[in-house]
Structure 1
Amino acid sequence: MSPIRRRTILGVSGLLSAFFIISNLWIWSAGWGRNLRNTPEQIPQDAVLVLLGLDERDEKTGKLSECFKLRIDAAAQLCRTGKIKLVVSSGLNNQARTMADRLREAGVTTPIVLDPYGWRTLDSVKRAAAVFLDEPVIYVSQGWHCDRALWLADRLSTNQHKAMSYSADFGHEPTAYFNYVRDFLAKPKAVIDWLTGAKPTTTVDVAHGYKLYP
């Protein structure tokens, strides 16, 4: 290999590594001081809870996802504060409905709407930003996911209230660590989407996308 080619490869690798690290640190910093899990007294009254989607069971093994259960537990805990006026269950169609079902089974009586077009975090956040212009919004997911949602909300929302998060416990299953590592790749992708002006996956108008859950 020629010296020029070697230097080119090393240079490109260095730039990609730097972008990867900077993207993760940038998005991670968006969550600083914005997780209400440990400061429930700061939860705003009449807030909108946006529960980010996840499959209930592993599609290969059929095993119940610990991350899913912990996410439902966190959302139910937040609703029990009495400060949530509406829950948005956002994910793929089956995810949105299943999460709403499990919230009801957990005793949540707060009104719920389904967002079956939250196919990506970008979709979920962009749709919430378009609908809830004046209400405080709280995203619920694992911490690594919440940071990305908050970073996107900072760039997509014109809400006078800065979005906050309420993180679910991490969990101890191997899939929890897989999701954590996966998000290291998702963060640079979020930055690329923002820089390139990526459009949401779905073109369904928000006004026709949200569905009231019984």
Structure 2
Amino acid sequence: MNQLPSNDVALVLGTSRNSERGKMNLYFKYRMEATARLFKEGKIKYIILSGNNDSQYYNEPLDMQKALLDLGVPAHVMTLDYSGFRTFDSVVRCKEVFNQESFTIISQNFHNARALYIAHHEGIQAISFAAQDVPTGYSIKTLIREYLARPKAVLDVHLIRPSANITSNIEIRKR
């Protein structure tokens, strides 16, 4: 942790608060703990919480904000990005919507690798911090999803160039 460079801004990549069985999702729990730790140790000053909120019953940015508030992170340092539907969107929006050229990405190591690949190909000076990993075999679905997402990221960066929806669904709380 001591060797991690400081950045003004962190981008926390979204995931669901609960697992499909209704229990606390360890990916979520560990990302929130890592984010609170980096904030409290002065490694980040502001936090962009980027994720999906495709219904009134599912809201990753708001769930992340509530968890971070419970961990002692003040609301005024958090910005909610409701259009982070995919990792590509979250990373590109951090640059295009929030005007960040340099930031720390927070997720698990496997996810950070893909996010950094996207960031570096978009000309962003991003670094990452790996939240605690989950036990082996915790989520086969997530591993399969990641296996498919990596080639999709290569296609997105080099061929498809999807729109990252850079104009909507944000709530700015920075002072």
CA deviation profile, 1:107-162 (whole Å, cap 9, x unmatched): 1126100000000001000001213345x3000000000011110001123x4xx2
CA RMSD of superposed structures (Å): 2.1
2:114 alignment partner in structure 1: 148
Instruction: Give the AA of the match of 1:170.
Output: D
1:36 alignment partner in structure 2: none
2:103 alignment partner in structure 1: 137
2:56 alignment partner in structure 1: none
Contact 2:18 2:25 in 1 (8 A): yes
Verify: 1:113 aligned to 2:87, yes or no. Answer: no
Contact 1:122 1:200 in 2 (8 A): no
Larger Rg: 1
Contact 1:67 1:171 in 2 (8 A): yes
User: Structure 1 stretches (4+) deviating beyond 6 angstroms?
Assistant: none
Cα gap change, 1:122 to 1:49, in 2 (>3 Å) = same
CA deviation profile, 1:139-186 (whole Å, cap 9, x unmatched): 0000000011110001123x4xx2000111111274444323421221
**Equivalent-residue separation in structure 2 for 1:54 and 1:156 (angstroms):** 23
Which is helix-richer, 1 or 2?
1
Cα gap change, 1:106 to 1:173, in 2 (>3 Å) = farther
**Unmatched tracts of structure 2, length 5 or more:** 54-58
Cα gap change, 1:154 to 1:92, in 2 (>3 Å) = same
Verify: 1:101 aligned to 2:66, yes or no. Answer: yes
SS in 1 for 2:133: coil
**Equivalent-residue separation in structure 2 for 1:177 and 1:200 (angstroms):** 29
1:197 alignment partner in structure 2: 160
Aligned residues: 167
Verify: 1:50 aligned to 2:16, yes or no. Answer: no
SS in 2 for 1:100: helix
Q: What TM-score do you get using the length of structure 2 for normalisation?
A: 0.85
Contact 2:10 2:103 in 1 (8 A): yes
